[in-house]
A and B are shown apart, each in its own frame.
Chain A
Amino acid sequence: MIYCPNCGTANREGSRYCNQCGAPLTPEEGIKCQICGAINSPENEKCTNCGASLKPAPSPEEKPAEELPKVPVFPEEIILTLEEEAPDFLADLRAKAQEVVLPEEERVEEEAEEEKEEEPIIILEERYEEEELPPTPAEEKPTVTVEYREEELPDWLKEAKEIVLPLEPSPPADWLKEVEIPWLEEEIVEVPALAEIPPWLEALRPIEEAPAAPPPEEEAEEKGVLQGLKGLLKPATIFEPPEKIPLRREVAELSLGSEEIQKLVKLKPAAPAVKIKAPPKEIRTHRLIHFILFLAVLIPMLIGWPSMPSGSPPTPLGVEKFFQTVEALPPGSFVLVAFDYEPYMAGEMEAVAYPVLAHLKGKGCHVALISLNPMGPALAQALGERVGLRYGEEFINLGYIPGVEAGLRALGTSEDWLVRYDYLQGKPLDSFPAFQSIKGLKDWNLIVLFSGQSSTLLGWIEQVGSVIEVPMVAGVISGLKPYAEPYLNSGQLKGLLGGMTDAAFYEAVLGKPSEATRAAPVQAFALLIALLVILAGSLTRGGSHA
């Protein structure tokens, strides 16, 4: 996750701008990662994208000797022997391997050689001349010869051509003499002669190509009028037999040395065969949970069980108030109904809105549908038609008001009615006789809010409810009910329906069972199954971590 430096919102990896406030998440001026190219904040030490270090890599001259990549270096004698005795193709392989594996070392060596040529420095070669020295007597001590090759030496050092330092190895302690180190002896492994090439390596030997044949001597024409002339063009060939393709040498031991070959040429080993594994236990458990929930919803819907309780549970206070507010409207009242929810909430919200619209229709009210959501008018229109309201007489669609709070404030403070045309037919509102008396927001007898989001619900209450005296009731999704209940207690809302359950109670009070009456028991049964699943997870997993 990338956290916005402006508002702190967590954004997805790779986001360039904050989803909340739109602030850029990657600074335009910063340190560019040398690995992935991402721009990082100047104070970052590591790349936020790939985690690579953002500190500039020190040049080889700056790197201390111990930080340079440690690579196996053959003794000079062995290298010489390889170059002298090994076949050419082995020398080529070694050169390629060094090119691939040791580019840094080569660069360092080359630069060191260049420096050596440009600025000769003092080099004191220290060699333990064990072989070149004449055989020393047993009592003679070994010496270390220090040679120099540069003239820029201090005077006292110039005078000394050979410095003989006594090298007196300290005798081993007595306890060490008695100790036997078996592993030290076992580690001594006989190294095969460098000239011996194992079979697997022999398989790499390229097939020697035949030396290029010298260009054939131009033949002279043997017959015809051109007889005796050379360098003439040959007749075009229509068909030519294919050339003989040399086959690669088959080596039986090739498979035996495959690992060594792969290491040598730095090839990736072949991917192991993919085995289809059974999903882990955690995934199987979650699939089982999903299947249980699916059945818990599907089966009750199919068999129509359970149904509403046979007893008389008390109607929730908000439902009772809602019903009484609508019931108190005189026939022919004007009711403004706001559809402020998205299509994905329609499953629950239409179950809430349907009995209310049916109740308003039964009361003979004139209903106007409006929305703060661009998709609200289409949802409202469909539901109005489903309830059976007649367009133009019993209801009109006023469409969408942009700007949420600003739009609501403008709606509440306008001296005249802000909406002048209907949404469906584009006609002036004056052309609808049933709604000609509406001149402003204060002319409505009731405002009904169907909200799926707290912003729209609070917007209506704060921006409109604070400036006009029109009573408001609200129907919300069940998750929003706790946010709406404080306004019910304060009296700013005259009634409240929260989700499918309250809608079922409303239908029960209204005496017209419908969609909510069928769906609410099914939802309750699914919630009961969900509770059992949660309890099972808690009891079986206890305090263990996932």
Chain B
Amino acid sequence: MRKVIPILVAVLSGLTVLADFFITHPILDLVGRTLLQWAMIVAAFAFVAGLLNIFFTHTSRVFHREKGWGYSIVVILAMWAVLVFGFLEPEGPHGYVVSWIFRYVQYPLQATVMALLAFFALSAGYRAFRRRTLESTIMLLTTSLVLLGYAAIMTDLWPMSALKEWILSVPAMAGVRGILLGVALGITATGLRILIGMDKPYSD
């Protein structure tokens, strides 16, 4: 019974929302909209679950003195600082302290980590792009032309960017369309498997 009830709830909910796509009926529309709003509320509560998970995970690491437990203390303190100030300040998350933390701590830290990616990507490009085979040579040539096109469009050599535009508009877009079609088929297949109860991501 513990397995049957979740499957029934998932299948009925999914079929109702799916039917709402194709059938226009006042009752069906109402039920479908209600289920969607429930899904939004559940998704919002997932943040609360994530918050508790982070807190208990890092607290356990501190108590057991696991490797890197000092960083866990920083995580817990930062989490509580933002939470407490967010509740204490009358403006809530737009208060001075929380906004300051977001603008001058979280924002630059995330941007810094992202900026490091450029250095690692270039190192990887230096090592990876080698003309071992015909395919790798074609890839090296294409990469060079696209990069050159991006660089040239901002200079007086902009006519050279026409080739880059062609590469992106014809072969690259053909590949992307293939990927998108494959993703759509995969989503359809996964949705059908969930609707008929073959896949149970909600209970696994």
A contact residues vs B (CB 8 Å cutoff): 6, 21-23, 285-286, 289-290, 293-294, 306, 308-311, 313, 316, 342-347, 374-375, 378, 381-382, 401-404, 406-407, 409-410, 413-414, 424, 481-483, 485-486, 489, 501, 504, 520-521, 523-528, 530-531, 533-538, 541-544, 546
Query: Distance in Å from the Cβ of A221 to the closest Cβ of chain B?
Result: 60
Complex CA distance for A105 and B93, rounded to whole angstroms: 71
Contact of B130 among A21, A482, A501, A543 (CB under 8 A): A543
Does B43 sit within 8 A of A, measured CB to CB?
yes
| Tally of contacts, chain A with chain B, CB under 8 A | 173
Is the pair A403, B43 in contact by a Cβ cutoff of 8 Å? yes
Kindly list chain B residues whose C-beta atoms are within 8 Å of the C-beta of A403.
Answer: 36, 39-40, 42-44
Is the pair A485, B168 in contact by a Cβ cutoff of 8 Å? yes
Residue of A nearest to B106 (CB): A343
Residue of B nearest to A297 (CB): B118
Kindly list chain A residues whose C-beta atoms are within 8 Å of the C-beta of B148.
Answer: 528, 531
Is the pair A343, B147 in contact by a Cβ cutoff of 8 Å? no
Complex CA distance for A92 and B23, rounded to whole angstroms: 92
Is the pair B201, A21 in contact by a Cβ cutoff of 8 Å? yes
Is the pair A410, B123 in contact by a Cβ cutoff of 8 Å? no
Q: Could you say which of B44, B151, B152, B201 has the most chain A C-beta atoms within 10 Å of its C-beta?
A: B151
Residue of A nearest to B34 (CB): A410
Does B65 sit within 8 A of A, measured CB to CB?
no
Kindly list chain A residues whose C-beta atoms are within 8 Å of the C-beta of B151.
Answer: 524-525, 527-528, 531
Q: Which range holds the interface residue count of chain B?
A: 35 or more
A/B interface sample: 7 pairs, CB < 8 A: A294-B119, A406-B43, A483-B176, A485-B173, A528-B147, A531-B151, A538-B130
- Say whether, besides A311-B156, A483-B180, A525-B151, A374 and B47 are in contact (CB < 8 Å): yes
Is the pair B173, A289 in contact by a Cβ cutoff of 8 Å? no
Residue of A nearest to B113 (CB): A344
Q: Could you say which of A343, A378, A527, A534 has the most chain B C-beta atoms within 10 Å of its C-beta?
A: A534
Is the pair B176, A486 in contact by a Cβ cutoff of 8 Å? yes
Given A289-B123, A290-B123, A293-B122, 4 further pairs, Cβ under 8 A: A311-B156, A501-B153, A528-B151, A543-B131
Q: Could you say which of A310, A407, A414, A525 has the most chain B C-beta atoms within 10 Å of its C-beta?
A: A407
B contact residues vs A (CB 8 Å cutoff): 17, 20, 29, 32-33, 36-37, 39-44, 47, 93-94, 99, 102-103, 106-107, 110-111, 113-115, 118-119, 122-123, 125-127, 129-132, 140, 143-144, 147-148, 150-156, 158-159, 161, 165, 168-169, 172-173, 176-177, 180, 201, 204
Kindly list chain A residues whose C-beta atoms are within 8 Å of the C-beta of B132.
Answer: 543
Complex CA distance for A531 and B160, rounded to whole angstroms: 15
Residue of B nearest to A536 (CB): B126
Query: Distance in Å from the Cβ of B118 to the closest Cβ of chain A?
Result: 7
Q: Could you say which of B102, B103, B122 has the most chain A C-beta atoms within 10 Å of its C-beta?
A: B122
Query: Distance in Å from the Cβ of A521 to the closest Cβ of chain B?
Result: 4
Is the pair A533, B126 in contact by a Cβ cutoff of 8 Å? yes
Contact of B36 among A290, A309, A413 (CB under 8 A): A413
Contact of B40 among A407, A504, A521 (CB under 8 A): A407
Is the pair B180, A309 in contact by a Cβ cutoff of 8 Å? no
Query: Distance in Å from the Cβ of A469 to the closest Cβ of chain B?
Result: 17
- Say whether, besides A308-B154, A504-B154, A535 and B173 are in contact (CB < 8 Å): no
Residue of A nearest to B137 (CB): A538
Is the pair B156, A309 in contact by a Cβ cutoff of 8 Å? yes
Is the pair A344, B110 in contact by a Cβ cutoff of 8 Å? yes
Is the pair A406, B39 in contact by a Cβ cutoff of 8 Å? yes
Kindly list chain B residues whose C-beta atoms are within 8 Å of the C-beta of A378.
Answer: 93-94, 99, 102-103
Is the pair A530, B113 in contact by a Cβ cutoff of 8 Å? no
Is the pair A527, B130 in contact by a Cβ cutoff of 8 Å? no
Kindly list chain A residues whose C-beta atoms are within 8 Å of the C-beta of B43.
Answer: 402-404, 406-407
Is the pair A410, B40 in contact by a Cβ cutoff of 8 Å? yes
- Say whether, besides A308-B154, A413-B29, A524-B154, A482 and B122 are in contact (CB < 8 Å): no
Query: Distance in Å from the Cβ of A306 to the closest Cβ of chain B?
Result: 6
Contact of A414 among B33, B103, B125, B147 (CB under 8 A): B33
Query: Distance in Å from the Cβ of A190 to the closest Cβ of chain B?
Result: 56
Q: Could you say which of A306, A409, A413, A538 has the most chain B C-beta atoms within 10 Å of its C-beta?
A: A538
Kindly list chain A residues whose C-beta atoms are within 8 Å of the C-beta of B161.
Answer: 313
Kindly list chain A residues whose C-beta atoms are within 8 Å of the C-beta of B140.
Answer: 534, 538
- Say whether, besides A402-B44, A542-B130, A482 and B204 are in contact (CB < 8 Å): no
Query: 10 closest A-B pairs (Cβ-Cβ)?
Result: A524-B154, A344-B110, A537-B126, A313-B158, A528-B151, A406-B39, A344-B114, A410-B36, A403-B43, A403-B40
Complex CA distance for A525 and B148, rounded to whole angstroms: 10
Complex CA distance for A414 and B33, rounded to whole angstroms: 7
Is the pair B154, A520 in contact by a Cβ cutoff of 8 Å? yes
Is the pair A530, B110 in contact by a Cβ cutoff of 8 Å? no
Is the pair A306, B103 in contact by a Cβ cutoff of 8 Å? no
- Say whether, besides A482-B176, A485-B169, A402 and B40 are in contact (CB < 8 Å): yes
Complex CA distance for A297 and B148, rounded to whole angstroms: 17
Is the pair A486, B180 in contact by a Cβ cutoff of 8 Å? yes
Is the pair A306, B154 in contact by a Cβ cutoff of 8 Å? yes
Query: Distance in Å from the Cβ of B64 to the closest Cβ of chain A?
Result: 15
Complex CA distance for A310 and B140, rounded to whole angstroms: 30
